[in-house]
A and B are shown apart, each in its own frame.
Chain A
Amino acid sequence: MNRFSSLQNALPLSIQEIPVMDLDSWRNEILKICRESKGRLIALFSAPAGKVSRLFGVVGIDQHGELRVGATDLGPNRSYASLTPELPEAHLFERELFEEEGILPEGHPWRKPVRKHETGPEGAYPFYEIAGEEIHEVAVGPVHAGIIEPGHFRFQCHGEKVLHLEIRLGYQHRGVEKLLPKSKPTRRAVLAESVAGDTVVGHALTYAHAIEALAGRSVPQRAKWLRVVVLELERLSNHIGDLGALGADIGFLPASAYFGRLRGEFLNLLMELTGNRYGRSFIRPGGVLTDLSEKKRVDFQRRLAVTSREIREVADLFFSTSSVLARLEHTGVVTREIAQSLGLVGPAARASNLIRDIRHDYPTGAYRFHYIPPVRLTSGDVYARARIRSLEGKRSLEFLEEALKALPPDKIFHLCEGLQASSLVVSLIEGWRGEIAHIAMTDARGEIDRYKIVDPSFHNWMGLSLAMRDGQISDFPLCNKSFNLSYAGHDL
């Protein structure tokens, strides 16, 4: 038996059904699915199995909406032939495994620590250095000039030209994955919400789907619709906010001010529905905690119509101003080939001509009933990543209009307790930044003993590095904002 088990998004699988193969077959199977079935790596992680470490690979075949999972036990030397040379999208997963568990990916080109800068298995790892006349190095961070998260950026430049940007993260490392299984259910939910503060809803929903799957409970219809309403509001607030931030970075201040204010409109809607501007403590396993009254629903529809018109006006202004376009176009290009080989997800992938959207490929909840066509652009530059936000925002607004009309009368919460023993679930949601994956495993007593989180940023940070090649440092703010990756989500 040399095949991975097939499973569906947010449906549980008994751990016994996961094939445990020898190292070579496991590795070859991952490569084969990625090559022949156009699969991509969703997660690579380890979990203890008796006395050995078991390595799990989860691969997604987008066009069939199918997930495959397979495992292998590591021998006493805890090493295996690295996947990265043949499958670059595995590079960060393998580095993480090496750092956390000491599992050595032999032949990995770059075993740099992911979060433990000096305390990893091999101690401090040097930054890349380039020598020569007119070569200089620029170091930025971890504390930045703006109000943003900490990270360290090292640019290697030849004159004005950036040869390479090396990114060191890990400053936000809080140990979320290790804390989660040990915590009581109410704390687990807030930990999931705190993976990334701008993706509270996305992570809460991914977590809720995982727990509901393990508990074998479905959710009332009304709750399913309210959940996607808040998820789309979150997407809109972030997409619009990012357009404003891009406006600020190119000095087009009207767009910065107007989009900045419009972002707040969505946060205020979230607050009036959930009690918190970021939708905290709204989605819980079993449903949602506050309902939308009929009066508020009508009010939301009216306000969304007004906001939608205002966004269109500001977006028209932004994308028709020649000084804006001159700055955005052909800046920070990520080609389709690079995006594919790095395994980019979300708007960053769709701006580089790749259709990857969980709402489309692996729909769950209300997305099963209502289709949102993904937006794809081809140029892979800052313009495409910006434009995709306004186009996706438009589709989200259309969807919200329908969803608010379609809200079925129903309860909003079912109690959801008692998890199936010895099971694994892969839960995927298209957050505003891209694919959020939560993988939960239970032990023989039905307690969660491994919880793996993959934030979309984890797939995308390397994309930012490559977008900067041959650009100038002054392009960095634009590239950075157009990706807008989470440091916290990466560092966990």
Chain B
Amino acid sequence: MWDLLKNRWKQRYRTQPFPPRELLPEPFRGRPVIDPKRCEDGCRRCAEVCPTSAILASPLRLDLGRCLFCQECVLACPEGAITYSQDHRMAIGNKTDLLLTGEEIKLAQALDQKMRKLFGRSLKLREVCAGSCNGCDLELQALNNVVFDLSRFGIQFVASPRHADGLVITGPVTKNMTLALMKSYEAVPDPKIVIAVGACAISGGPFEGSPEVLNGADGTVPVDLYIPGCPPHPLTILDGLLRLLGRIEEEDHPLKSI
């Protein structure tokens, strides 16, 4: 008993404030930033090395939904046109906004007022792992630890789709999981939301084109929020969820230009 209390005292309080007060430390690879002006000769080296064809050259664009946040393009580009910021914020609502062009990024918008009234203060989610390597699932699990403490925001993962307001999907959707995913989706009562977490769930990630996978969730179910990453940092996921619920005011937390 005394040991328990002593341990508790020593552990102190570890929950991280959200929104975080500072950027993540270097060399964290957060949202990529591209500068098409530096890329005028169209050398295409970045596009050639990209493992998932996330980069389109001339003009330079980067598909955030395919990006695995590896370092190949950064290392290949002699002009430094692609860099990683330390910014964790990158959840996107519309699939077309995943394509970065060097202009300001269009982060996810809040749900409409009716949905916010339903889910804004209490959101229950069911996670379906549809062929991920387990990386994204581990980060979703990490949201429940004392550091990120997801439940303080009224968001919880529940055991059954019938208890859920929405699905969180990870993995490229394997053929072998398609039926289970459809059934889980149908079991969530309306109105519902779907969140695709990680490059695999958005585009198939490194498995895109394999005959065993369906290249992401939105061919099977409609997606409301895309959270890029491989895997996304827990703060990226948290930011996406709270943005969707309209609980992040940009004035409190202005987007720094990097």
- Contact residues of A with B, CB < 8 Å? 115, 117, 142-143, 145-150, 170-176, 178-179, 183-184, 186-187, 189-191, 194-198, 200, 254, 257-258, 260-261, 263-264, 267, 271-272, 274-278, 280-281, 289-290, 310, 313-314, 316-317, 320, 486-488
Q: What are the residues of chain A within 8 A of B26 when measuring CB–CB?
A: 272
Tell whether B23 is near chain A: CB-to-CB under 8 Å: no
- Across the interface, do B28 and A173 meet the contact criterion of CB distance under 8 Å? no
Top 5 A-B residue pairs of the complex, sorted by shortest distance between their CB atoms: A197-B135, A145-B159, A197-B133, A187-B51, A175-B212
- Across the interface, do A198 and B138 meet the contact criterion of CB distance under 8 Å? yes
Q: Which A-chain residue is minimally distant from B143 (CB atoms)? A: A147
Answer whether A184 and B51 are a contact pair too, CB < 8 Å, given A171-B176, A174-B212.
yes
- Across the interface, do A280 and B134 meet the contact criterion of CB distance under 8 Å? no
Task: Report how many residues on chain B are interfacial, defined by Cβ distance under 8 Å.
Answer: 67
- Across the interface, do B27 and A275 meet the contact criterion of CB distance under 8 Å? yes
B residues 1-53 in Cβ contact with A at 8 Å: 3-4, 7-8, 10-11, 14, 24-29, 49-52
Partner of B231, one of A179, A195, A278: A278
- Across the interface, do A197 and B51 meet the contact criterion of CB distance under 8 Å? no
Q: What are the residues of chain A within 8 A of B52 when measuring CB–CB?
A: 187, 190
Partner of B131, one of A148, A173, A184, A190: A173
Q: What are the residues of chain A within 8 A of B207 when measuring CB–CB?
A: 174-176, 179, 191, 194
Tell whether B177 is near chain A: CB-to-CB under 8 Å: yes
Partner of B132, one of A271, A317, A488: A488
Answer whether A171 and B142 are a contact pair too, CB < 8 Å, given A187-B51, A189-B51.
no
Q: Which A-chain residue is minimally distant from B133 (CB atoms)? A: A197
A217 to B4, CA, bound (A): 53
Contact sample, A vs B, 28 pairs, CB 8 Å cutoff: A142-B177, A142-B180, A147-B129, A147-B140, A150-B129, A150-B177, A150-B180, A173-B212, A174-B207, A174-B213, A175-B211, A178-B210, A195-B133, A197-B138, A197-B231, A200-B135, A254-B8, A261-B146, A264-B142, A271-B24, A272-B25, A275-B29, A275-B84, A276-B28, A278-B135, A280-B230, A313-B7, A486-B134
Tell whether B203 is near chain A: CB-to-CB under 8 Å: no
When A and B form their complex, what is the total count of cross-chain residue pairs whose Cβ atoms lie within 8 Å?
A: 181
A100 to B70, CA, bound (A): 32
Answer whether A149 and B71 are a contact pair too, CB < 8 Å, given A194-B207, A277-B139.
no
Tell whether B246 is near chain A: CB-to-CB under 8 Å: no
Q: Which B-chain residue is minimally distant from A252 (CB atoms)? A: B4
A254 to B6, CA, bound (A): 11
Q: What are the residues of chain B within 8 A of A174 when measuring CB–CB?
A: 131, 172, 174, 207, 210, 212-213
Q: What are the residues of chain A within 8 A of B4 when measuring CB–CB?
A: 254, 317
B residues 89-112 in Cβ contact with A at 8 Å: none
